[in-house]
Amino acid sequence: MKIGKATIPRTAICTSDEHTIVVRGRDLSKDLIGKVSFVEHFFLALTGQLPSSGQAAVLNATLVAITEHGLVPSVQAARMTFAAAPDAMQGAVAAGILGCGSVVLGSSETAGRLFTEIDAKVRTGVGVPEAALAVMQAWRAAGKQIPGYGHPLHKERDERVGALFDVARQAGTDPRFIAIAEAVEALNPQVLKKDLKLNVSGAIPAVLLGAGFPVQALKGVPILARTAGLIAHLFEEISQPIGFALSYQATREMVYDGELPAGFGAHG
Amino acid sequence: MKIGKATIPRTAICTSDEHTIVVRGRDLSKDLIGKVSFVEHFFLALTGQLPSSGQAAVLNATLVAITEHGLVPSVQAARMTFAAAPDAMQGAVAAGILGCGSVVLGSSETAGRLFTEIDAKVRTGVGVPEAALAVMQAWRAAGKQIPGYGHPLHKERDERVGALFDVARQAGTDPRFIAIAEAVEALNPQVLKKDLKLNVSGAIPAVLLGAGFPVQALKGVPILARTAGLIAHLFEEISQPIGFALSYQATREMVYDGELPAGFGAHG
Amino acid sequence: MKIGKATIPRTAICTSDEHTIVVRGRDLSKDLIGKVSFVEHFFLALTGQLPSSGQAAVLNATLVAITEHGLVPSVQAARMTFAAAPDAMQGAVAAGILGCGSVVLGSSETAGRLFTEIDAKVRTGVGVPEAALAVMQAWRAAGKQIPGYGHPLHKERDERVGALFDVARQAGTDPRFIAIAEAVEALNPQVLKKDLKLNVSGAIPAVLLGAGFPVQALKGVPILARTAGLIAHLFEEISQPIGFALSYQATREMVYDGELPAGFGAHG
Amino acid sequence: MKIGKATIPRTAICTSDEHTIVVRGRDLSKDLIGKVSFVEHFFLALTGQLPSSGQAAVLNATLVAITEHGLVPSVQAARMTFAAAPDAMQGAVAAGILGCGSVVLGSSETAGRLFTEIDAKVRTGVGVPEAALAVMQAWRAAGKQIPGYGHPLHKERDERVGALFDVARQAGTDPRFIAIAEAVEALNPQVLKKDLKLNVSGAIPAVLLGAGFPVQALKGVPILARTAGLIAHLFEEISQPIGFALSYQATREMVYDGELPAGFGAHG
C-alpha cells in the first residue's frame, strides 16, 4: 500500500558494496575503525561531520551525565522483563528505552525546543531576559510546562548541571544556550511562582545546542546513554537477579479497592 | 506475588542522595563528567573498573564497526515505526533494537561463547587447533551452527575484521581469542565443508574478550552500537521521510497465494 | 526515588489469594472461564461491567474490522524482527505494536476525542451540524487535522464503515456518535476543501462510544486487534519466511545520496 | 542486502483492492464484520479455517484464563512505562508484552512442545504413561525443565486448570492432550521428586492442542490475552496513576552493596 508521496527510499548515511562500507563519505574500515571514538562516530553518522574535540567533549559529558541514576523506573522495567524473558536481552533493553518518555527523560528535547525558540527571538535583537520571559509566558498561556527545571530528589541545583557547564566552558563551545537556560532559571520564581533550579535535562540541551547538536535529535542522547546503563544493569541481573524481588516489593503494600466475591479469603 | 527466593533488591552500580550520584564508587559530577569518555563510563558501569587506554580503544573500535550498515532490516523496522508514530522516538528505537536477535546481531555473543569454550580447553593444556576442532565438532554434533563466520554480502573476509585485529594489536590487549578465532576460520573447510571467513560478529568477541569484556555482556555491544545508528536514521527520517516508501517498495512484488472470494477484482 | 505524590499502589481490576483469582469482583475460575467470551472479559476488565450483548457485538465488530490489512508497515516491521530474532515472538509482536502511532492507527482515539468534543457541545443544546462545524473550525485553527477521514487506498467510503454502522444499528446501541461522524463527513468539503469520506478509524469510535466504550481506552482497540493479526503473520513467518525478502525488496531501488570516498566501487 | 534465499514476499492471510479487503478468502466487510466474533476471526486469520463452536469455546476460555493476574511484573513494567511516557500507550503495551518470556508466560508454548512430543510417541503405539515417562526423562537428561507445573502462589492445582478442562469436555474437543498433561502430572513425584501440580500454562496447551490450535502459535495466546489485560491496566493508570508509586515501593528496602566515595552522606 502506498502511504504518502515518496516512493524511492533515499539515505545519505551509509552504503556498501562487497568490499567497502561507507559511512558519511568515509571508508568505515580504513578511516573510522580505530581512528575515531564511538561518540565521534555517532556525531558523524548523525550530522555528517566529525565533531571538533570540544564538541566531542561536550557530547561525551552529557552521555556520561545520564547513563545511570540507579534503580529508576525504566531500569526496574528492564530488569523485571529480563527476569521473565532471559533469552532476549534486546527485549529487556527495549522495555527500558520505552520509558524514555515525555515525563521522565524526554524533557531534554522539549527544553531544547524552549531554548531554541528563545534564541530565535534573541537573534531578532531582543535581550535574553526579555526573550526568555516572552517565550515562557507564551508557553504557560498555551498550557505547556517549562521543561528542564526541578527534580524530585535534587532540590538545589543538581550538581551535574555545574559539571556540564564547566565542560562546555573548557571546551570553548558556544555558550549562548547556557545563558538562555540560566535566564529561564532566574525567571522561574516570577513566572512559575516556584524557585525551580536547572536539572540535568535542562543542562543537556543548554550545552549540546551550543556544540552544534541538532535540536530534533536531542531525545537520542538520553536514549543512547540509558541504553548503556540498561546493559550494565542487565549484566548485573544475570549474576544478581532482582527483577522479581523488585516486583514483589512493589506490591507489598498494594491495596485492592475493587469488589470481592462472597467468601473470598475465607479458606484459610 | 513472590517469584523466586530473593526479596531484597541489591545493586552495586549506582546510588545517590540529595547531593551526590555515585556510580561504581565514584562521584558522578566530580570524578566522571568531563573526566572520562562515554565508552569508558560504559565499561565502568558494566564491570566496576575503568578501562585501560588499550581496553577503551578496543571497545570503541568494536562499537564503531557495527553502528551502521545502511538500511538493514532493523533500521527499516525503526523507520517504518517512526513514520507511523512520530511522537515516540523511543518506540522506533525500541522496534529497531528488537531486531538484534539470534540470527542477525546476536552471533557476537554466541561466537564469544564458542571462543570461551575453546579457551577453557586450551587452558587445560590442549593446543589451540586441537581444542578448536574438538569444540567445533561438539557444537556440530549438538546441531548448533558455528557463529561468526560468513556474510551474505562480504564473501571474502570482511574488511572490518582486519581493522579490528589491527586495533587490538596496537592496543596491546590479550591476543589469545584472535588466535582462537583464526584457528576456527582455518578449520571451517574441514568441519563445515565451506570456506567461511571471519565476519564482524566473530571479530568483535575475538578482540573484546581479550580486552577483558565479559562474555555475558557481549550482546550489549551490538545493541549499544545500533542504538546510535538508529538515532542517526530516525533524525534523517524527520527531514527525509522514507518509512512508508520502504514499506511500499517491499510489497510491490508481493504475491497473495491464499483464497479469494468470487468476484474479487471485477469492479474495474 | 519518589516521583509524584502517590506512594501506595492501588488497583480495582484484580486480586488473588492462594485459591482464587478475582477479576472485577468475579471469581475467575467459577464465574468467568467458560462463561464469558474473551471480548466480554476484556470489556469487564476495562470498565468493571460485563457488556450487554449489543455492546459486545459492537466491540467484536470493531476488533474484527482492523485485525488485518495485509503486509502493512507494522506487519513488515514485525516479520523482519521475527526473522532476525526468531526465539522471541514477544519481541516481534512488540515491534509491530509500536507502529500503532498517531499517524497510522492512533486516529481512532483522536477521532473519538473530536466526536466527544462535538457531543459535549450538542448536549448544551446546539444542533449536530452547528456543533460539528464549530469544533472542526476550532481544531483547524489550532493546526490540528480532522482524524478519521480519507484513506490512501479506499477513496470512496471504506466498506468497513457501512458494515460497522449496520452492526451498531442491529445491536441497538446509542447512535448519536454515528450521527456526529456523518455530520463531520458532510462538512469536510466545506471545512477541508476535500470530500474525504469516513474511514475505519473514524467509524470505530463512532460505534464504540455509543456502546459505552471509554474514549481514553480507544487506542487499545487497534492495539488489541493488531496483536491478533501480528500473531497470525508471525505464525505464517515460521513456515513461509519473508521477513528478509521484504527488506531486500524495500531497498532494491534505494538511492544513496551522500558522499563517497575516492575509488568506491572500482574493484570490479 | 539480500539475506536468505527468498526474494518475493508471499502471504496467504490478507489482500485487498480499492473496494474489498479479503481475509483468508472471505470478504471482510460482507462475510466477517458482524458475522464472526473477534476470537473466531483470530482463529481464522491464524489457521485459515473458522473454528467450530467447540474450538471457539476452548480458545475463548484459555484467553479469559490468563488475561489478568493483577500487578504481575509485566503489568508493573507497563504501568511504569506509561507513567514515564503517557503519550504512547503502544509503548507501554509493548513493554508489558516483552515480559511474556521463557520464564513467565512462555511455558504454555514449551509445555505444548512437551505434550506434542509425547503424543508423537503415543501414536507409534506406546501407552500414555510410558510415552510420558520416556519423554520426561529425555528432557531431564538434556537439562530441560518440565514446563507447565507448579506455581509460586497456587500450591494445589490451580483452579483455572479444572475450569479449562471442564470447558474442553463440554466443548467436545479432542481430550488426548489432557490425558497426556495429567499423565505427566502423575509422574512428577517420580521424575522430579516434587509433587508439582498442573498450572494454567500447562492446562492451556492441554486444551488448545485438542482444539486444533497449532503448537507453534501457542505463545500467541498469552501474548494476546495479556495485551487485553495491559490495556485495562493502562486505562486505570490514566485515572489512578500508580506507576511511580510501584517503583518507589520497589526500592524502599534497596541495598546498595557497591563502593562509596569518601564523605558520601555526610552533608546533612
The predicted-structure confidence for B46-93, as pLDDT tens digits, reads as follows 999 999 999 999 999 999 999 999 999 999 999 999 999 998 999 999
- C130: closest CA of chain A, how far (Å): 26
CA A21 to mean position of chain CA atoms: 29
Q: Could you tell me which chains touch chain D, where touching means 3 or more CB pairs under 8 A? A: A, B, C
What distances in angstroms separate CA C145 from CA A108, C139, C185, C220, one per listed residue? 27, 7, 13, 21
Q: Could you tell me which chains touch chain B, where touching means 3 or more CB pairs under 8 A? A: A, C, D
- Provide the 10 A C-beta neighbour count for residue D155: 13
In chain A, pLDDT over 70 holds for what percent of residues?
96
Q: Which range, A197-206, C247-256, D5-14, has the best average confidence (pLDDT)?
A: A197-206
The chain B residue lying nearest A167, using CA atoms, is: B34
Q: Can you tell me the mean pLDDT for B201-221? A: 97
pLDDT reported for residue A118: 98
Closest CA to B133 of B79, B73, B78, B188: B188
- Which chain D residues contact residue B11 at CB under 8 A? 254-258
Measured distance CA(B46)–CA(B59) in Å, rounded = 12
- Is pLDDT at A267 greater than 60 in this prediction? no
- Which chain B residues contact residue D72 at CB under 8 A? 1
CB contact under 8 A, B152 and D2: yes
CB contact under 8 A, B12 and D258: yes
What is the bridge-based pairing of β-strands B255-256 and B26-27? unpaired
pLDDT reported for residue C153: 67
Q: Is B196 helix (H, G, I), strand (E, B) or coil?
A: coil
Measured distance CA(B209)–CA(B218) in Å, rounded = 9
The chain C residue lying nearest B250, using CA atoms, is: C250
The chain B residue lying nearest A96, using CA atoms, is: B94
Q: Can you tell me the mean pLDDT for A244-256? A: 93
- Which chain A residues contact residue B245 at CB under 8 A? 4, 6-9
Confidence of residue D31 (pLDDT cuts 50, 70, 90): very high
Q: Which of D25, D261, D264 is the closest to B258 by Cβ?
A: D25
CB contact under 8 A, C85 and B99: yes
The chain A residue lying nearest C22, using CA atoms, is: A260
- A127: closest CA of chain C, how far (Å): 29
A111-140 confidence digits (pLDDT tens): 999 999 999 999 999 999 999 999 999 999
Q: Which of the pair, B141 or D7, is modelled with greater confidence?
A: B141
- A190: closest CA of chain B, how far (Å): 25
Q: Which of C18, C94, C255 is the closest to A94 by Cβ?
A: C94
- B10: closest CA of chain C, how far (Å): 15
Residue partners of B108: CB distance under 8 A and separation at least 6: B148, B201, B204, B205, B218, B219, B221, B222
CB contact under 8 A, B18 and D261: no
CB contact under 8 A, B89 and A219: yes
Q: Can you tell me the mean pLDDT for B117-137? A: 98
D40-68 confidence digits (pLDDT tens): 999 999 999 999 999 999 999 999 999 99
Substitution target in B8, B59, B113, B227 with the highest count of A β-carbons within 10 Å is B227
CB contact under 8 A, B99 and C80: yes
Q: Which of A22, A69, A85 is the closest to C261 by Cβ?
A: A22
CB contact under 8 A, A264 and C1: no
Q: Which of D231, D236, D247 is the closest to C223 by Cβ?
A: D231
- Which chain B residues contact residue D1 at CB under 8 A? 69-70, 72, 152-153
CB contact under 8 A, C104 and B92: no
Substitution target in D81, D104, D260 with the highest count of A β-carbons within 10 Å is D81
Q: Could you tell me which chains touch chain C, where touching means 3 or more CB pairs under 8 A? A: A, B, D
Q: Are B63 and B39 in contact (CB under 8 A)?
A: yes
Q: Which of B22, B72, B267 is the closest to D1 by Cβ?
A: B72
pLDDT reported for residue B161: 97
What is the bridge-based pairing of β-strands D14-16 and D21-23? antiparallel
Q: Are D65 and C65 in contact (CB under 8 A)?
A: no
Consecutive sets of 10 residues in chain C, 268 residues long: mean pLDDT of each? 76 93 97 98 98 98 97 96 94 96 87 98 97 97 93 79 98 98 97 94 98 97 98 97 94 92 76
D123-160 confidence digits (pLDDT tens): 999 999 999 999 999 999 999 999 999 877 667 788 99
- Is pLDDT at B246 greater than 50 in this prediction? yes
D168-218 confidence digits (pLDDT tens): 999 999 999 999 999 999 999 999 999 999 999 999 999 999 999 999 999
Residues of A engaging D, defined by a Cβ cutoff of 8 Å: 1, 70-74, 76-77, 80-81, 83-88, 91-92, 94-95, 98-106, 243-244, 246-247, 249-254, 256
What is the bridge-based pairing of β-strands C21-23 and C14-16? antiparallel
Q: Which of the pair, A150 or D38, is modelled with greater confidence?
A: D38
CB contact under 8 A, C246 and B244: no
The DSSP element (H or E) to which B11 belongs, if any, is: strand B10-11
For chain D, give the mean pLDDT: 94
Size of interface C-D (CB pairs under 8 A): 316
CB contact under 8 A, D76 and A72: no
Q: What ipTM describes this predicted complex?
A: 0.95
Give B18's DSSP letter.
Answer: S
- Which chain D residues contact residue C170 at CB under 8 A? 34
- Which chain B residues contact residue C95 at CB under 8 A? 77, 81, 94-95, 98-99
Size of interface A-B (CB pairs under 8 A): 315
Size of interface B-D (CB pairs under 8 A): 144
CA geometry: angle at A209 spanning C99 and A140, to 5°?
A: 70
- Residues present in chain A in total: 268
Residue with cell 521473565: A84
pLDDT reported for residue D268: 45
- A243: closest CA of chain D, how far (Å): 8
Sheet holding B21-23, edge to edge: B14-16, B21-23, B26-27
Q: Which of B18, B94, B264 is the closest to D94 by Cβ?
A: B94
- Which chain A residues contact residue B236 at CB under 8 A? 11-13
Q: Which of B88, B105, B250 is the closest to C246 by Cβ?
A: B250
CB contact under 8 A, A15 and C256: yes
Measured distance CA(B88)–CA(B69) in Å, rounded = 24
- Is pLDDT at D34 greater than 50 in this prediction? yes
Measured distance CA(A194)–CA(B134) in Å, rounded = 70
Confidence of residue D265 (pLDDT cuts 50, 70, 90): confident
The chain B residue lying nearest C252, using CA atoms, is: B249
- Which chain C residues contact residue B70 at CB under 8 A? 251, 256
pLDDT reported for residue A102: 83
pLDDT reported for residue C265: 79
Q: Are D67 and C38 in contact (CB under 8 A)?
A: yes
- Which chain B residues contact residue C74 at CB under 8 A? 80-81, 84
Residue with cell 536514521: B233
The chain D residue lying nearest C56, using CA atoms, is: D37
Measured distance CA(B168)–CA(B184) in Å, rounded = 19
Query: Dihedral sign, CA of D94, D98, D104, D106?
Result: positive
If phi > 0 it is left, if psi is from -120 to 50 it is alpha, else beta; for residue D83 that is alpha
The DSSP element (H or E) to which A204 belongs, if any, is: helix A200-210
Q: Could you tell me which chains touch chain A, where touching means 3 or more CB pairs under 8 A? A: B, C, D
